[in-house]
Amino acid sequence: QNTISVQGRVTDASTGQPLIGAGVVVQGTSTGTQTDANGNYTISAPADGTLAVSYLGYRNAQVPVDNRSTINIQLETDTETLQEVVVTGYGVQEKRDVTGSIASVKSEELVRQASQNPVSSLQGKVAGVNITNTGQPGASPQIRIRGTGSALGSADPLYVVDGTFVNDLSFLNPADIESIEILKDASSAAIYGVRAANGVVLVTTKRGKSGEATVNYNGFVGVQRVTNQLEMTNASEYATAVNEKNGSELLSTNLPSTDWYDQILRTAMIHNHQVTASGGSEKVTYSASAGYLNQEGIIKGNEYERITARLQTDIQISENIKVGYNGIFYNYNSDDIPGDIFYQAYVAPPVIPVFKANGRYGDPVDFPIGNFANPQASLDWFYQKSNGQRLTSNAFGEVKFLNGFTFRSSLGLNYGIDEYTNYRSRDSLTTVQFATRSLLTQRRSKSNMWLWENTLTYDKSFGNHEITALLGTSAQEDKSNYFTGSVNDVEFNSEANLYLDLGDPETYNIDAGGARGTFVSYFGRVNYSFLDRYLLTATLRYDASSNYPRGDRWEYFPSIGLGWRVIEEGFMQNQTIFDNLKLRASWGRLGNNNIPANLYRSTVSTDPRLGAIRNGVLYPGWNINTVPPATLFWEVVEEVDLGVEMGFLNNRLTVEADWYNRKTDDAIFGVTPLGFLGLGGQIRGNYATFRNRGLEFIANWSDEISTDVSYNIGFNFSRNRNEVTGVAIENAAFFNGNLPVGGYQVSITRVGDPIGSFYGYEVEGIFQNEQEVEGSAQPNASPGDFRYRDLDGNQVIDERDKTIIGNPNPGFIYGINTGFRFKGFDLQLDIQGVADVDIYNGNRNVRYGNENYDKDFFDNRWTGPGTSNSYPSADLTGRNLDPNDFYVEKGDYIRIRNLQLGYNLPTSLVKSLKMQNLRVYINAQNPVTWFDYNGFSPEVGGAPVSQGIDRNVYPLSATYNFGVNATF
């Protein structure tokens, strides 16, 4: 047979850009090569053979040699989702080869959201991922992947930005992100073993491509307004209720009224700008960007400013050696607000004026109703500025050698500083808001982290076999510390005076602390595919963490994933229903290292509260405040995932469904010790087992009716069931969710119920008259009080009558995402919601005395026999404040998440402006939310064991933006 030498160039069919590293093989043999930095290749092939050319993200091409010695090949971009490339952690994979459950959100989706935090952009986009947003500028939303699987450890996922581990994503501008991948099942996440128990969020930032430099501007300006503002009573209604409650005419019912929410809230501005330049030669590519965000909070005086800068460079030193660098710098400044301002505004009686006639702040002392902060005085008095800087960086070198081997070493460094200055002036605003000496408090915290990882990858095809193997090591150290100092009597003439050494040295006070953690890991993964239809992914990670004691700290985390691309089978060739059919199954174990520090060590409390005072001098008091468990093991997640992926109607309709069963074994769990042990808090060890089981369903329809008209509709839905399946100590229940009045605990974590379930009495009705009280199980009740169900029938209402009254773990989350394009116009509408979830209305329940009432309560309250059998009288005291199901409300909501209308200016016009592309848009983010809950916002969040208790939530606001996206 005649073998000839063939050479040529592989390029992108639409742009003509060379494709570097494309694979060229002689079909049916193991002879192959890759294109060089110019896209050129040379290969020996039979004159009558066929070249198979492949490149990630492009359609494969088969080209007969036909005795030619020069063959230039153009590859078409693969637009079908099946050929989508997903980032899998230490590598990338075509989506069709993935055996686990990985969701991918691309930059176009993120940018369309016009939101400030990348995580909040994911809300409603990804099945199985529940995001609880917050309206607080600069704050990170809470994210839960496939339910809550940890009680005391963090239930947050691992975030990996370009290979570097970070704690949250608030430092990232969404416009810098190329894609976000969410590794949901154990088999996908297993490569991150120790840290992956709650899922992994992989963020890949934009990288430069060789070719002409492009400059992109992306910016928007908008206003934010609160929606669903909670209506409280006015002064006359409040006075009516308080007089009823106290049985006397404490207050006149015609006092002027203050709406404290109106008083502290405002319409707030937001603007955001980002410039990105990218491009490069064949050897060097770069992407650089700078961003600026300025966001006012909807609370007066709250403001957040963020500057982000990023530089990314890849250098092809030689054919086989590549190095690169990626650095993200972030700086923020914030004018803060009192942490409890929403609570203050909720409780503040409307009879208190903002200001009195004499110009002084309205004062609770003028009314016989108890002590309340004047929220306006709180805002005016509060001075706190915070700022911080963070550098997240990563440098790598990569060497290709032999045939198919790549060695890569990367070093990640994160360094961050956060600080705040708080000044409480010497002032007397009201009888409850005053200070006789000024107090300056400054805090500085610092964190640094290094991560060194080495991987060796082998990538090879042999006939019908395709194999990618990975071996790697990882070592990491995290370190952080803080220092808080305070001093009295610093004079505040300007911010330049705010130094601790300018105060009274007698009053210096210092608090300092820190944390350090180290990790060592070895890992390996094999991806194998046979005949392009039988897929296998096997992963093993061997991990150790300093959070666990010697002897118990090393653990293996294996996983396996299997895929069957049924569509490739011969028997599928003649059917016309499916364009894609793939089945997958996976199993894996993951560890949770994110547990409270020093669990296995007994530590000493040096709390100044326990210092002895003698003759006016404070002497420190120390004591051992913990009893460590005898052993401490890994909190281990084990998960099974079964999935199916289908394509119909020319892949215009794609459907993906997953079932999973996720079990957390040896979860770190706190058992409240008996009071007589004298240990506060909890005894913590590997005491519990949790299970999250659920279904995820995704359907997407996209169609191009003509070149002018196209549209897509996506629907995702997930169901999750959480349950505590075991507790090591018999009958142990873990109470949490402390409410401050009377120390009531609303949340319980116990076997058979979901984590952090609400626990309390069932309200049977309202006592209508004295006769009903007499002979009831509550002989001390008054008419208008709750009548609790006497579950054990012993004629006494006590702890034994408490039961599960609600579940804060969402049962259903869903999103509907649609897009329409007509010529230059595009319209996007995203809807998102949560259902089958409960909220505990802590604002209503937490009452010391004469707190304000919400309007719904006032309108429906019991005022005499027959007026209500569900709402109690205004006398919310005593046993009416025991946790009960009146305070548990449905937290279901549905929201228009994003409505955006964009217009791409015509190419001719754009070209004449020397631009490549120009798009303008208007956008409404969260304009409407529907819910029944009697609070500001149904998005409450909270720690796993005390979630869903609404006290003082900073609600999400509606944002209306105008934006421009221009490429030069």
Partner 1 sequence: CSEDFLDVEPEGEPVGEEFFQTPEHALLAVNSIYGNLREWNVSAFAHLAITTIASDNAEKGSVPGDAGFMEEYDNFTLTATEGQLNGYWNGQYQAINLANQVLSNVPLISMDEALKERLLAEAKFFRAYHYFNLVRTFGGVPLRLSVPQPGQQEDPATLNLPRASREEVYAQIVQDLTEASQVLPATYPAAERGRATKGAALGMLAKVQLYQENWQEVVNLANQVEGLGYTLAEDYYSIFRIAGEHNAESIFEIEAQTIPGNCSASNSQWAEVQGVRGQFGWGFVEPTEDLVNAFEEGDERLDATILFRGETTPEGDVITEAAPNPRYNQKAYVPSFVTNECGYAKDQNIRILRFAEVLLMRAEAANELGDTQQALDDLNRVRVRAGLEPIESASQEELRQIIWHERRVELALENGDRFFDLVRQGRAAEVLQAHGKQFTPGKNELFPIPQQQIILSNGILTQNPGY
Interactions with partner 1, residue window 492-531 (CB under 8 A): 504, 506-509, 512-520
- Taking CB under 8 A as the criterion, which residues in 185-224 touch partner 1? none
Closest CB 609 distance from partner 1, rounded Å = 5
- Taking CB under 8 A as the criterion, which residues in 305-344 touch partner 1? none
Question: DSSP E strands: which ranges in 227-320?
Answer: 268-280, 284-296, 303-316
> Strand, coil or helix: what is 847?
coil
Tokens of 244: 């009823």
Q: Closer CB to partner 1, residue 475 or residue 649?
A: 475
| Helix/strand/coil (H/E/C) assignment for every residue in 481-503 | EEEEEEEECCCCCCHHHCCHHHC
- Taking CB under 8 A as the criterion, which residues in 378-397 touch partner 1? none
Q: Closer CB to partner 1, residue 508 or residue 822?
A: 508
Where b means 16+ CB within 10 Å and e means fewer, 338-362 reads: beebbbbbbbbbbbbbbeeeeeebb
CA distance 127 to 146: 9
> Strand, coil or helix: what is 559?
strand
Report CA dihedral (595, 599, 605, 609) to the nearest 10 degrees: 40
Closest CB 500 distance from partner 1, rounded Å = 11
> Pick from 502, 649, 741, 909: which binds partner 1 (CB under 8 A)?
741
CA angle 137, 329, 497 (to 5 degrees): 65
Alpha-carbon dihedral sign for residues 462, 467, 468, 471? negative
Using rule CB under 8 A, residue 358 touches partner 1: no
Closest CB 441 distance from partner 1, rounded Å = 10
Contact call for residues 97 and 106 (beta carbons, < 8 A): no
Closest CB 598 distance from partner 1, rounded Å = 4
> Strand, coil or helix: what is 662?
strand
Q: Which letter does DSSP use for residue 122 in this model?
A: T
Alpha-carbon dihedral sign for residues 847, 850, 852, 856? positive
Where b means 16+ CB within 10 Å and e means fewer, 92-114 reads: ebbbbbbbbbbbbbebebbbbbb
> Strand, coil or helix: what is 360?
coil
Q: Closer CB to partner 1, residue 514 or residue 906?
A: 514
- Taking CB under 8 A as the criterion, which residues in 922-941 touch partner 1? none
Closest CB 591 distance from partner 1, rounded Å = 14
Closest CB 167 distance from partner 1, rounded Å = 17
> Pick from 308, 312, 736, 850: which binds partner 1 (CB under 8 A)?
850
Using CA atoms, how far residue 590 sits from 157, 193, 520, 663, 664, in Å, is 12, 5, 15, 10, 9
Q: Closer CB to partner 1, residue 465 or residue 601?
A: 601
Q: Closer CB to partner 1, residue 28 or residue 742?
A: 742
Contacts of 670 (CB under 8 A, 6+ apart): 151, 152, 681, 682, 683, 684, 687, 734, 945
Closest C-alpha to 241, from 886, 873, 878: 873
CA distance 151 to 946: 9
x/- mask, partner 1, residues 669-708, rule CB under 8 A, reads --xxxxxxxxxx--x-x-----------------------
- Taking CB under 8 A as the criterion, which residues in 245-264 touch partner 1? 245-248, 250
DSSP string, 313-342: EEEE-SSSEEEEEEEEEEEEEEE---TTHH
Backbone φ and ψ for 188, nearest 5 degrees, come out as -70, -40
CA distance 740 to 172: 37
Q: Closer CB to partner 1, residue 260 or residue 788?
A: 788
Backbone φ and ψ for 566, nearest 5 degrees, come out as -55, -30
Question: DSSP E strands: which ranges in 346-438?
Answer: 384-401, 405-424, 427-428, 434-435
Q: Closer CB to partner 1, residue 516 or residue 823?
A: 516
Closest CB 364 distance from partner 1, rounded Å = 8
Using CA atoms, how far residue 934 sits from 238, 843, 927, 931, 953, in Å, is 17, 10, 19, 9, 13
Q: Closer CB to partner 1, residue 91 or residue 524?
A: 524
Cα 700 from chain centroid (whole Å)? 24
Mark the segment that binds partner 1 (CB under 8 A) among 290-298, 310-318, 361-369, 944-952. 361-369
- Taking CB under 8 A as the criterion, which residues in 129-188 touch partner 1? none
Q: Closer CB to partner 1, residue 582 or residue 750?
A: 750
Q: Closer CB to partner 1, residue 404 or residue 629?
A: 629
Q: Closer CB to partner 1, residue 486 or residue 925?
A: 486
> Pick from 269, 317, 321, 618: which binds partner 1 (CB under 8 A)?
618
Mark the segment that binds partner 1 (CB under 8 A) among 27-35, 51-59, 642-650, 877-885. 877-885
Closest CB 601 distance from partner 1, rounded Å = 5
- Taking CB under 8 A as the criterion, which residues in 644-673 touch partner 1? 671-673
Which residue is listed with tokens 């626990």? 759
Q: Closer CB to partner 1, residue 135 or residue 760?
A: 760
- Taking CB under 8 A as the criterion, which residues in 435-454 touch partner 1? 435-437
Closest CB 502 distance from partner 1, rounded Å = 14
CA distance 486 to 444: 12
Closest CB 509 distance from partner 1, rounded Å = 4
Cα 91 from chain centroid (whole Å)? 23
Q: Closer CB to partner 1, residue 184 or residue 789?
A: 789
> Pick from 488, 768, 809, 832: which binds partner 1 (CB under 8 A)?
488
Which class for 262: exposed (0-12), middle (13-18), buried (19 or more C-beta within 10 A)? exposed
Closest CB 392 distance from partner 1, rounded Å = 23
Q: Which letter does DSSP use for residue 113 in this model?
A: T
Closest CB 608 distance from partner 1, rounded Å = 4
Tokens of 136: 């607080």
Contact call for residues 919 and 219 (beta carbons, < 8 A): no
Closest CB 487 distance from partner 1, rounded Å = 6
Closest CB 365 distance from partner 1, rounded Å = 4
CA distance 644 to 647: 10
Closest CB 263 distance from partner 1, rounded Å = 23
Closest CB 551 distance from partner 1, rounded Å = 10
Using CB under 8 A, count the residues that bind partner 1.
104
Q: Closer CB to partner 1, residue 317 or residue 729?
A: 729
Q: Closer CB to partner 1, residue 597 or residue 909?
A: 597
- Taking CB under 8 A as the criterion, which residues in 758-817 touch partner 1? 780, 798-799
- Taking CB under 8 A as the criterion, which residues in 597-616 touch partner 1? 597-598, 601-604, 606-616
Which residue is listed with tokens 């609070």? 935
> Pick from 431, 497, 575, 794: which binds partner 1 (CB under 8 A)?
431
Using rule CB under 8 A, residue 710 touches partner 1: no
Closest CB 343 distance from partner 1, rounded Å = 17
> Pick from 214, 253, 294, 481: which binds partner 1 (CB under 8 A)?
481
Q: How many other C-beta atoms can be found within 10 angstroms of the C-beta atom of residue 89?
A: 24
Using rule CB under 8 A, residue 566 touches partner 1: no
> Pick from 45, 87, 197, 544: which binds partner 1 (CB under 8 A)?
544
Q: Closer CB to partner 1, residue 67 or residue 252?
A: 252
Q: Closer CB to partner 1, residue 220 or residue 788?
A: 788
